[in-house]
Amino acid sequence: MKKILVSALLITASSVVLAQEYVTPADMPEQAQTKMYSILTDYNKCMMQGHLTSNYQGNNPQEAAQSILQSCETHLDELKTHLSSNNVETSLVEGMAKSMRSKAARQLMTKTMNNYAAQASAMANAEKLKQQSEKNIDTFVTQQLNEFYEW
């Protein structure tokens, strides 16, 4: 019975020690959390700005998205450095950066593909308008010629 109590006590004590060493972003001081949110905001702004300023004409959508992701990677490096300097668990640091990158990549690819679809639709509409206007011009010219010859 004493062995079971001692074993349970040792397991509980080691669990408490491990729990104290496991630091999450929520355990950081408020000022450090504020800086973390600022870095995340800067990353999101970079992604949005990259999407708005990139020229998708003639580029492969994956290449365009990859270029934007690479241009904003420094913000994720800054996030990892900041979290690590605040003793956040390494697996959480890497997981958070990976999660942010994956989410941004999905959003960027969705926006990029929507832009491509909109461009294709606009080109199709422009072609239809061109054909319609050519048809209208032909009809108008035919009517004018008919009126001229009838006169």
What's the CA dihedral at 107, 80, 15, 30 to 10 degrees?
Answer: -90
85 pLDDT band (50/70/90 cuts)?
A: very high
Q: What is the pTM of this model?
A: 0.64
Q: Which two tokens stand for residue 148?
A: 């001229």
Span 110-131, average pLDDT: 79
> Does the pLDDT at position 35 exceed 80?
yes
> Does the pLDDT at position 9 exceed 70?
no
The single residue listed with the structure tokens 């990139």 is 54
> Does the pLDDT at position 3 exceed 70?
no
Q: Which two tokens stand for residue 36?
A: 């973390």
What span, in angstroms and rounded, lies between the C-alpha atoms of 67 and 54? 9
pLDDT at 17: 45
Q: Crossing angle of helices 73-85/30-53, nearest 10°?
A: 170
pLDDT at 58: 54
What span, in angstroms and rounded, lies between the C-alpha atoms of 139 and 35? 67
Q: Are 49 and 111 in contact (CB under 8 A)?
A: no
Among 118, 120, 106, 43, CA closest to 78:
43
Span 107-126, average pLDDT: 81
